Structure 1
Amino acid sequence: MDARFLGIDELVEVPSVAVVVDVMRAFTVAAWAFAQGAEKIVLAESLDEALALKARHPDWVALKDGPAAPGFDAVNSPGLLQSVDLGGRTVVQKTTAGTVGALAVREASLVLCAGFVVAEATARLLRERECDSVTFVVTGEGGRADEDLACAQYIARRAAGDVTDAAGFLRRGAESRAAAELTEGVRQGVHPDDVALCLELDRFPFAVVAALEDSLMVLRPRAVPSLTDEASI
């Protein structure tokens, strides 16, 4: 598999297949939202658009980076979200990097949004689709966030069928600038467990697929057969 690793600003053409990686915390949060029962996640281009969507759909759950703010129901923290019942709800998500990266490749034929918590399911879906060329969008720090790059590189190796020890990749995530900022309280809207939750490898058995639906970029979970299931087929 031909894998490219690019920052958002380095995208000069629409890739055929894109995996958008935001470990800390957008797509860890997205996975948790689905685990908490959310039906779908709508990505907003701006805070104003998120609030406008919420105004049109009062039953939707609006979520943003940083501290709590009027009009928003939740913040971009897996630790805070894991106690929220989202059964059957639609979530509107706007973050600094992850949602921006996914919207930048909205025209791709296949868009997956990933973090360590859905790494194996993401790799398995790429293998299932027999993707020969994949662009990994490293969203954090202008494409230099080591937790995102480590996760992207790990998924790429697993998608290629390599037997890969995840320990070194997870260590890079734990030692990243983002992890330090979350631990030290530099970023707001944080739960003490956020870093640990972001580094839980393969917590969920689904991939997160993004696609345009009526002009909106929408995320939905996609169940992927486990290795045990594959072996029994």
Structure 2
Amino acid sequence: MSIVGMDAEIPTGGVVVVIDVIRAFTTAAVAFERGVTEIACAPSLEVGRALRRLLPDRLLVGEANGLKPVDFNFGNSPFEMSVARLDGQRLIQTTSNGTLGLARCPKPTALLAVSARNVGATARWIASNHAATPCTLICTGRTAEDWACATYLSGLLNGSAPRRADLVAGIMDGAAEHARGYAQLPASERVDLSNDLRFCCDVDRAEFAMVGDVRKDHVVLARVPC
């Protein structure tokens, strides 16, 4: 098993887990909890908008530089998902890191999206379906939260008992790194994570894996109970 960043070369034929805790795959997990039936993850705003033109019944969700584009239905926010009416809806999601990371995986045996919210279910799905297959964990961000989640997931897959408190501490460290970065920006470009952070820290709230189906220019995530 290997834990790598976005710049690493991803081998073919293995299980690939793409990690984005703050906030893409926490947002996706909450959307599934709220009744969304599938999420088409696009690697860029342009691909997301093109999918929306082809599929006008889909809701467009995501961010550019952390903020909701004006023509999107929702931002990249688990809090927004938690108060939205989403039962039976299908989404198109595009983000700077998470959905881009999914698009970087050539011909995986299995492709999954994970955040702290569904990390335990993801470990169970891999153990049940691909226990003997080499696994690569991709941390899509450079801040602490994705690496903490990767370490926690690696521990679960290796049969140890990692501490949830350590994962939450890593997420909070990552949030502090984000806050320091945003503080250097003009007020209009800053991202307020205060409403989203509690969802990002809610370890194992979701008892499902988010399993990807690779398409020509995007990846479709499905909720698979575990």
Q: TM-score, normalised by structure 2?
A: 0.88
Q: Would the alpha carbon gap of residues 13 and 164 (structure 1) be closer, same or farther in structure 2, given more than 3 Å must change?
A: closer
Equivalent position of 1:128 in the other structure? 128
1:70 to partner: Cα distance: 3.1
Equivalent position of 1:231 in the other structure? none
Q: Is the 8 A contact 1:76 1:189 kept in 2?
A: no
Structure 2 stretches lacking a partner, 5+ long = 184-188
What is the one-letter code of the residue matched to 2:115?
G
1:180 to partner: Cα distance: 4.4
Q: For 1:12-27, what aligned pairs fall within 5 Å after superposition?
A: 12-27=10-25
Equivalent position of 1:36 in the other structure? 34
Q: Would the alpha carbon gap of residues 48 and 116 (structure 1) be closer, same or farther in structure 2, given more than 3 Å must change?
A: same
Deviations 1:41-95 (A, max 9, x none): 0011221121121122221010121333332100001112210111111111110
1:215 to partner: Cα distance: 5.6
Which of 191, 212, 217 does residue 219 from structure 2 map onto? 217
Equivalent position of 1:109 in the other structure? 109
1:193 aligns with 2:195: yes
Equivalent position of 2:173 in the other structure? 175
What is the one-letter code of the residue matched to 1:193?
N
Deviations 1:169-199 (A, max 9, x none): 22111112x4443599657554522112101
Deviations 1:141-164 (A, max 9, x none): 2xxx22101101101111222122
Q: Partners of 1:4 and 1:140 in 2: how far apart? A: 16
1:216 to partner: Cα distance: 3.7
**After the TM superposition, which of the residue ranges 102-111 and 187-196 deviates more from structure 2?**
187-196
Q: Is the 8 A contact 1:19 1:113 kept in 2?
A: yes
Q: Would the alpha carbon gap of residues 32 and 75 (structure 1) be closer, same or farther in structure 2, given more than 3 Å must change?
A: same
Equivalent position of 1:119 in the other structure? 119
Q: Partners of 1:56 and 1:189 in 2: how far apart? A: 30
1:14 to partner: Cα distance: 2.5
**After the TM superposition, which of the residue ranges 35-44 and 189-198 deviates more from structure 2?**
189-198
Q: Would the alpha carbon gap of residues 78 and 139 (structure 1) be closer, same or farther in structure 2, given more than 3 Å must change?
A: same
Q: Partners of 1:119 and 1:171 in 2: how far apart? A: 15
Q: Which runs of 4+ in 1 moved over 3 A?
A: 182-191, 213-216
Q: Partners of 1:205 and 1:12 in 2: how far apart? A: 27
Identity level (%): 29
The total of aligned residue pairs comes to 218
Q: Partners of 1:136 and 1:208 in 2: how far apart? A: 14
Q: Partners of 1:179 and 1:88 in 2: how far apart? A: 35
The two structures, once aligned, show a CA RMSD in angstroms of 2.0
What is the one-letter code of the residue matched to 2:138?
V
Q: For 1:92-107, what aligned pairs fall within 5 Å after superposition?
A: 92-107=92-107
Structure 1 stretches lacking a partner, 5+ long = 225-233
Equivalent position of 1:90 in the other structure? 90
Q: Partners of 1:78 and 1:53 in 2: how far apart? A: 22
